[in-house]
Amino acid sequence: MIRTRLQQLIRPRRLRRTPTLRALVREHRVDVAKLVQPLFIVENAGDAGPIGSMPGIHRYTVESAVQEVGLLDALDVRTVLLFGIPETKDAAASSNYDPNGVVQRAARAIKDAFPHVIVIADLCNCEYTDHGHCGILDESGDVDNDATVELLVRTALTYARAGVDIIAPSDMMDGRVRAIREALDAEDFERVAIMAYSAKYSSAFYGPFREAADSTPQFGDRRTYQMDPPNEREALREIALDIEEGADVVMVKPGLPYLDIVRAARESFDTPIAVYNVSGEYAMLKAAAQNGWIEEERAVDELLVSFVRAGADIIITYFAKEFAARHAPGA
């Protein structure tokens, strides 16, 4: 056999030869401390249980959510994002600003049991309105921006009083970050941070979440307040505005189809950037894995590191627990 030898000085394959060498030159890693696990909490115990379109994800009662936080804590997942599913809904989302509402009770119970765990509360009205839109409707059936901001401020204060560490407005109303910041400061909650869903697109990938949170709009869609998917410059403008208004963390959502936006935001801003790996992205991967069409563990690892590589600091993902369990020391 004739052995050919290329005159080649540079051979990138040299550093891919063994697992140790590959680890030595690995550029990015997923740090469990940067993962956030979303939790759905129900007011009515009868609504608790598994979510069909999100295998492995459950709706918890306040008590079972506290237990789940204990399990997450043991795996070093120490930040949770709460979504409430109230017993009653109305046009004004009044169950959202109830001081004893489901999110307020869950936040108190979690902070009592695990004071070091960081509790983020998603702040929106879509789970609390009977029409399923994210705010108060005007005569034309569109969401009234300023009336909705007033409502968000009212709810945000009840969250802060319940011990929430970070308030995360996901409604996409204009001017809400400043209004929430001012209201928090006026009540001496200057330590409560704001993580703004800044570049939140009107996306088909929220489908499974709307089943989980019972928040599907009863008519129309969210295109008059969430962003139009083809836009990039507008995302940077939204992020810049939220930073000016006092956001501590800004977010890009969904994740996978918007990695270019995460990268663009990373290059433009120094503020910590969160990315939300949403329900549809989770459901897609789980469904393919359940069919044997994709290798789940490798796919999850590859997916999560893509967010780090794109420049995200914080990753909100339904895979947080499963990833942490698989990568726990001794696992």
Binding interface with ligand PBG (CB under 6 A): 122, 124, 126, 134, 170, 206, 209-210, 278-279
Establish whether 200 is a catalytic residue: yes
Report, in Å, the least distance between residue 292 CB and ligand PBG.
Answer: 25
105 or 222: whose CB is closer to ligand PBG? Answer: 222
Q: How far apart are CA 61 and CA 64, in angstroms?
A: 5
The candidate with the shortest Cα–Cα distance to 90, out of 64, 127, 115, 55, is 127
Report, in Å, the least distance between residue 276 CB and ligand PBG.
Answer: 6
Could you identify the residue written with the tokens 């979303």? Answer: 38
SS3 122: strand
Establish whether 34 is a catalytic residue: no
**Tokens linked to 99:** 């001081």
Report, in Å, the least distance between residue 126 CB and ligand PBG.
Answer: 5
52 or 70: whose CB is closer to ligand PBG? Answer: 52
Of these residues, 34, 89, 111, 253, which one is catalytic?
253
The candidate with the shortest Cα–Cα distance to 206, out of 283, 103, 123, 129, is 283
Report, in Å, the least distance between residue 208 CB and ligand PBG.
Answer: 7
Q: Which amino acid is at 283?
A: A
148 or 279: whose CB is closer to ligand PBG? Answer: 279
**Tokens linked to 212:** 């989980």
189 or 206: whose CB is closer to ligand PBG? Answer: 206
β-partners of residue 123 are 169
Q: Which residue's C-beta sits nearest to ligand PBG?
A: 209
Q: How far apart are CA 114 and CA 119, in angstroms?
A: 10
Among all residues, which ones are annotated catalytic? 200, 253
